Structure 1
Amino acid sequence: MELLLHPTYFPNVISLRCLQEGGVVWEVWDNYQKQTYRNRCYICTDRGRQMLNIPIRHSGGANGRQRYRDVQIDNTYPWQRQHWRSLETAYRAAPFFEYYESRLRKIFEEEFETLLDLNLSTARLLCELLEIDFPEATSTAYEAEPNEKQDLRFLAGAKTPLDLDFPSYPQVFEDRHPFVANLSGLDLLFNEGKLAGEYLKKISLPVQS
């Protein structure tokens, strides 16, 4: 069965597990929602879990809603420079940061107009680096209750609790705080490198919410 997912900013570990499984269809016809992984991801710093947030232009209609595919990034704010500096500070000491640095830096030097284009680009890049086939299929219309797809769109909710077991792996600041699970795939990539794919296989797929 196909898996229906929202494109998110540098997808987290459970989303990468779904991409690894294959058969993903990207949801591109939904309305934009706040406080989701659509415009944020989480990394691990010396202080623990830290959010990287993308500023967006709010231009919804009379009801305040707008299509996710139409959401524009507010590039008047230097968010890309800020995000890259945060990644350098958090992961410069990670064993594989320098190995992937040049590929990743490019995405922070390119200006994106829409949030959807940015998120698909970050997902594509992570798939390439993790040797996962990137899914090209997108939804053709919004379905509140898809009948022929496993609806995993709930994974985009940044505050949605997940009853899943995430095995630990070495993290840069593990001497300062306990393991932080299900961060952006960047954390897994910088710490595990080529072993990241094997780590993902240890995680059970989520069930439909």
Structure 2
Amino acid sequence: MIENGAVLPMFYLPPVEYFTKLIAFKPDVVFEKEEHFPKQTYRNRANIYSPDGRQTLTVPIIKGSKNHTKTKDVKISYDFRWQRSHWMGLQTCYRSSAYFEYYEDDFAPFYEKQTTFLFDYNQQLLELLLRLLKIKMEFKFTDTYEATYPNLTDLRNVLNGKNAPDTEQKPYFQVFDERQGFLKNLSIVDLLFNQGPQTLNYL
């Protein structure tokens, strides 16, 4: 049994704070896949820095039945071309960053192929991000839903856009910071595209 670890949700292009937590608790991190899917969280949305400030990218999901749907069973909707708009958004916001072209070919396939389940899509993106950051980690998952974890730090509802990050974040160069100033806790891709190999040192 894991003790002194943490239980984390699986997010879409998670914010910087997510990775500071993940690094702090690894290798004793368990990913939640049995919870009922909560709406309006980072599980299917990410914030990036656009010319007009913070921009939210949302992965649309198929509306389920009236019953609550487990996170692992939530399916991605392809009723409209959200992948194209997300990829165009990332290109528009980061094409002029120092490292976008360096990582571009790694991310492009995620905006071309269709993945059925949101959890799988997020996990595959997280695996890519960990590889690019050179963070080695074995994935462990919940196999039942537990309301509380006495031996784990429960971060399932802590990391969300409504709460201010509880970790200090030093400013780093952002493409449009002369317009809006430094924006905290954007998606990890903002840090990665701007800082490249220095990302892990920053974290």
For the aligned residue pairs, the C-alpha RMSD in angstroms reads: 1.2
Out of 173-182 and 149-158, give the one that drifted further: 149-158
Question: Given the alignment of the two structures, is residue 157 of structure 1 paired with residue 160 of structure 2, yes or no?
Answer: yes
Q: Give the drift of 1:125.
A: 1.0
Percent identity, aligned pairs only?
Answer: 37
Q: Normalization by structure 1: what TM-score? A: 0.91
d(CA) in 1 for partners of 2:55 and 2:137? 27
Partner of 1:53: 58
Q: Give the drift of 1:135.
A: 3.5
SS of 2:43's equivalent in the other structure is helix
d(CA) in 1 for partners of 2:65 and 2:187? 28
Question: Structure 2 counterpart of 1:32, which letter?
Answer: F
Question: Structure 1 counterpart of 2:179, which letter?
Answer: R
Match of 2:117 among 100, 114, 117: 114
d(CA) in 2 for partners of 1:164 and 1:18? 9
Partner of 1:205: none
CA distance 1:156–1:66, change in 2 (3 Å): farther
Question: Given the alignment of the two structures, is residue 11 of structure 1 paired with residue 19 of structure 2, yes or no?
Answer: no
Q: Normalization by structure 2: what TM-score? A: 0.93
Q: Give the drift of 1:165.
A: 1.6
Runs of 4+ in 1 over 6 A off after TM superposition: none
Question: Given the alignment of the two structures, is residue 81 of structure 1 paired with residue 88 of structure 2, yes or no?
Answer: no
Task: Extract unaligned runs of 5+ from structure 2.
Answer: none
Partner of 1:185: 188
Match of 1:25 among 8, 21, 30: 30
Contact 1:18 1:24 in 2 (8 A): no
Question: Structure 2 counterpart of 1:41, which letter?
Answer: A
Question: Structure 1 counterpart of 2:89, which letter?
Answer: S
Task: Extract unaligned runs of 5+ from structure 1.
Answer: 201-209
Cα deviation, 1:110-150, whole Å, max 9, x if unaligned, reads: 21101111111111111111111233100121111101111
SS of 1:87's equivalent in the other structure is helix
Q: Give the drift of 1:153.
A: 1.0
Contact 2:17 2:165 in 1 (8 A): no
Question: Given the alignment of the two structures, is residue 132 of structure 1 paired with residue 135 of structure 2, yes or no?
Answer: yes
State the aligned residue count: 198
Cα deviation, 1:171-203, whole Å, max 9, x if unaligned, reads: 001111110011110000000001100111xxx
